[in-house]
A and B are shown apart, each in its own frame.
Chain A
Amino acid sequence: MTDFAAVVPAVTRPAASVASPKKAVSALLVNGVLVLIALCFLLPLAWLVLASLDVRASYQTQIPDRLSLENFRAVLTPDLTFRPLWNSFLLSAGASVVTVVASVLAAYPLSRYSMRFNKPFMYAILFGTCLPITAIMVPVYSLFVRLQLIDSMGATVLFLAATSLPMAIWMTKNFMDSVPISLEEAAWVDGASAMTALRRIVVPLMRPGLGVVFIFVFIQAWGNFFVPFILLLSPSKQPAAVSIYSFFGQFGAIAYGQLAAFSVLYSVPVILLYALVSRGMGASFSMSGAIKG
């Protein structure tokens, strides 16, 4: 899995116990190089944090004369922060709910019946995950204009859901494959329908997996700039990603500190969610392992 935290404990360090002087030097070198790389990755972010706390921030990275939350206070207004963040939440949560429901329903027959339909469908899905979404945004815009869906939050939610659906179906099917069919067979014997078995048995068992799918779709929609930038025109409907861009265009040249504070407020939710998933992912694996055993 791509998850970081879950991978860390599994990796053993070869020959760490053999502590010859040569090894100690090379270990020092390895750690040193890694720390240097980490610094390079962290450096650009220093500006974001320092500028958000500095009233007189510029594009220069500098230690503020005094730390202040003034920038945060200035941007914490309904127009600047609360409404865009609420719009971001509506778009992301809507897309996640639609995606999870549609992909659970779709994954069930794909996972439970072997049909001639499965293979071509899964290949089509795999192809869909590869589609460069940026490439279709111009045609999507003109299609939405024709269908009079431009500036509609509902249509944007459905579009965001559709773009993450291929991957979500793929993941959900994999999670569902690891739920043993024997439990459902017992339910069928008792006369439950396939949909009842799905709702009562399969979904509860794969809840951690569905949580992962939900949060990943959410993070993706939350961070998306291009899709709402093209499809939503009225400022009252635009999510934080777009409002921050307009803010930057209007005031960015003078209000660096506020721009940084706004960026921090907008980024914190996804960072927290990512932390949640990277821990929950391990749990979802151990779950499937426990059932298999």
Chain B
Amino acid sequence: MTAGLIASAPASPASAGPAGRGGRRRRPSPAWRLLPVVPAIVLLLIFLAGPVVWSFYGSFTNASLTGTNAQNPAWIGFDNYLRLFSDPVFPLSLWLTVVFVVASAIIGQNFLGLGIALLMNRANSAVVGVVGTCVVAAWVLPEIVAAFVAYAYFSQDGTLNQILAALGMTGPNWLYSFPMLAIVLANVWRGTAFSMMVYRAALGDVPIEITEAAMIDGAGGAKRLFLITIPMIKSSITTNLMLITLQTLSVFTLVWVMTAGGPGNQSTILPVMAFQEAFRFSDIGYGTAIATVMLLIGAAFSIIYIRALRPSKG
């Protein structure tokens, strides 16, 4: 949901707005001008910057959920990180996170969203309305409801296997035998609406004259798509890819309800691993170290994303 709004933001973060014309006015001193920003800054410092700093600090302690180490955690240096890098679950978890993001966001949501948006450009407007509503419905639902629905759909005697049975096939227990496939498909189902809406808005901005001119020049459908449409919406593609990557990195509820990381650790993506270490095995310090690794991955993607936006400012 979060990023549903971000896509609406224009590419230049520091656009001047109407401020440029303020030259004639009575100017309060700079410090006073910033006074209204203070409540926002205080909130952001305490509740966003605070936990980020705390995450780095906490990852060097042996803080636990209960007991003496909960009140007075000791500084243990890099022990949590040493343990993390020798933990056999960590590389698996990192790999599963990469698979989850690449398969469900970069391949699934992105291409399906683009495909739906392209098809919608040529479809009947009534069909467009109905299809849009169906795709968006999965995205608007509260995440816990979406997770229950996906669980029911993929469970042993769920809808998917009923359909397969009707076609004369016996479906496996998806959540147990193919947990990654199930959560990838569920995340595609839940998240494609976002990409679809981004690409619909982007395609709507492609001037019809250009496509028409290409058509008159004899460019076929595929040629028009790859030589004109795709290059023209390139910045939307970059934005969308970054945003869905970051969104998918922070998916927890869907996976927690569907498989809880299991069976074994076969679908333990990083957020699930951090949660389990911190709250199931009561090792807050270790969970915080995993959280810090996730923050660094997220920060790396954010920086790439922000840099990618900059040139488009012109």
The residues of A with any CB-CB pair to B shorter than 8 Å are 1-4, 7-8, 10-16, 26-27, 30-31, 33-35, 37-48, 51, 58-61, 98, 101-103, 105-106, 108-115, 117-119, 121-123, 125-143, 145, 158-159, 161-167, 169-171, 173-174, 176-177, 179-181, 185, 188, 194-195, 216, 219-220, 222-226, 240-241, 244-245, 248, 256, 259, 263, 266-267, 270-271, 274
Contacts and interface: CB of A to CB of B under 8 A. Distances in A.
B104 to A, nearest CB: 15
23 contacts: A2-B201, A4-B132, A8-B128, A14-B121, A34-B128, A41-B137, A41-B192, A60-B158, A102-B40, A106-B36, A106-B39, A133-B250, A158-B43, A161-B47, A165-B43, A170-B6, A170-B9, A171-B9, A179-B18, A219-B140, A223-B1, A223-B143, A225-B142
The 6 closest A-B pairs by CB, nearest first: A162-B47, A177-B17, A130-B302, A223-B142, A132-B250, A135-B294
Contacts of B44: 128, 162, 165-166
Contacts of B125: 8, 13
B208 to A, nearest CB: 6
Interface string B150-166: 10110111110011000
A224 to B, nearest CB: 7
B127 A138 contact: no
Given A225-B142, A244-B148, 12 more contacts: A4-B132, A31-B123, A47-B152, A61-B158, A98-B43, A119-B14, A126-B13, A130-B298, A135-B249, A137-B275, A138-B287, A188-B25
Given A117-B34, A123-B13, A142-B288, A41 B138 contact: yes
B274 A225 contact: no
B271 A134 contact: yes
B204 A122 contact: no
Contacts of B275: 137-138
Nearest to B142: A223
A131 to B, nearest CB: 6
Interface of B: 1-10, 13-22, 24-28, 30, 33-34, 36-37, 39-41, 43-44, 46-48, 50-52, 54-55, 58, 63, 70, 112, 116, 119-125, 127-138, 140-145, 148-150, 152-153, 155-159, 162-163, 189, 192, 194, 197-198, 200-201, 203-204, 208, 211-212, 215, 242, 246, 249-253, 257, 271, 274-275, 278, 284, 287-288, 290-292, 294-295, 298-299, 301-303, 305-306, 309
A219 to B, nearest CB: 6
Q: Please classify the interface of chain A as helix (H, G, I), strand (E, B), loop, or mixed, using the class held by over half of its residues.
A: helix
A105 B36 contact: yes
A136 B3 contact: no
A195 to B, nearest CB: 8
A125 B132 CA distance: 31
A162 B52 CA distance: 13
Given A13-B121, A35-B127, A113 B33 contact: yes
B204 A47 contact: no
B153 to A, nearest CB: 4
A59 B155 contact: yes
B230 to A, nearest CB: 16
- Which of A44, A45, A271 has its CB near the most chain B CB atoms (within 10 A)? A44
B124 A31 contact: yes
A126 B47 CA distance: 16
B13 to A, nearest CB: 4
Contacts of A35: 127, 130-131
Given A47-B159, A117-B34, A188-B26, A37 B252 contact: no
